Amino acid sequence: MHGTLRPLALMAVGAALASCGGGDDGLAIGFAAEATQWQLGSADYSDDTAPSELSQSVVSLSAPLTGQGLRLAGHNHSDDLFVFTARRIDGLQPGARYRVRWALRMVATVPGGCIGVGGAPGEGVTVKAGAAGRAPARVREGAEWRFNLDKGDQTQGGSESIVLGNLSSSGRDCVAVPPELKPLSGVQPTPLVAAADGSAWVWVGFDSGYEAASELILVDGRLTLEPL
């Protein structure tokens, strides 16, 4: 897994971090427009319970919404599936520490308060994001494939992740609800330490306890890295 930010985005990172206020403007992210920069991954399953329907694609938003989003999808067969997308950023100070703040908008299409297999289809699927000085990856631990960064498990966060929310919308009709934009935000509990070459990796994904198909549609976001 490897990628770099386009020059315009890299300039935005540099400008944000150069400000004495610690980069309050942050880096604007358009997930659909930058889809080729984001790389799909998954973890938290064995070979026998590997997810099906695993995909990443640009989709048109359903009415009444307009525009496009980046859709992550996967079918959980293990009672614990993590699906994520990640990209590399460059231009940071080598070895420097940064406070990580995420703010993004997703499309919520799943009603809240509904019952599902293993967990609720909305509240049982947690949206997380994070940043680290090394690339996110799937690694082997015994019979299981695990995430190499500390993201926590399902509804719980980890030192290298932010629990932003879940897939549920404000609707409570378990048959059908119209899609809505849902803002999410949070601060990573431990600082990002940039790699020796001034790079870092950022990621967004969903941690599912719902034993069926789930999707996360990312619209846009803002990543702020505040020098410490």
pLDDT at 7 over 60: no
Q: Is the dihedral of CA 3, 5, 10, 12 positive or negative?
A: negative
Domain spans in the chain, listed from the N-terminal domain onward: 7-227
The mean pLDDT value for 146-160 works out to 89
Amino acid at 130: G
| CATH 2.60.120.260 is held by the domain 7-227 | yes
Q: Which two tokens mark 34?
A: 């930058």
Whole-angstrom distance, CA of residue 99 vs CA of residue 120: 32
pLDDT at 33 over 90: yes
pLDDT at 8 over 50: no
The mean pLDDT value for 220-227 works out to 96
Q: What pLDDT score was predicted for residue 25?
A: 56
Q: Which two tokens mark 47?
A: 């070979």
Q: For residue 36, count other CB atoms closer than 10 A to its CB.
A: 10
CA-derived radius of gyration, the chain: 17
Whole-angstrom distance, CA of residue 109 vs CA of residue 169: 6
Name the percent of the chain lying above pLDDT 70. Answer: 89
Confidence bin at 152 (pLDDT 50/70/90): confident
If one compares 181 and 1, the residue with the highest pLDDT of the two is: 181
142, with CB counted inside 10 A (0-12, 13-18, 19+), is exposed
Tens digit of pLDDT for each residue in 92-144? 999 999 999 999 999 999 989 888 877 788 899 999 999 999 999 999 999 99
Q: What pLDDT score was predicted for residue 210?
A: 83
Q: What pLDDT score was predicted for residue 167?
A: 95
If one compares 155 and 204, the residue with the highest pLDDT of the two is: 204
Tens digit of pLDDT for each residue in 159-209? 999 999 999 999 888 877 899 999 999 999 999 999 999 999 999 999 998
pLDDT at 147 over 90: yes
Q: Which two tokens mark 158?
A: 């980890």
Q: Which two tokens mark 222?
A: 């803002």
On whether the CB atoms of residues 228 and 99 are closer than 8 A, the answer is: yes
Q: For residue 110, count other CB atoms closer than 10 A to its CB.
A: 23
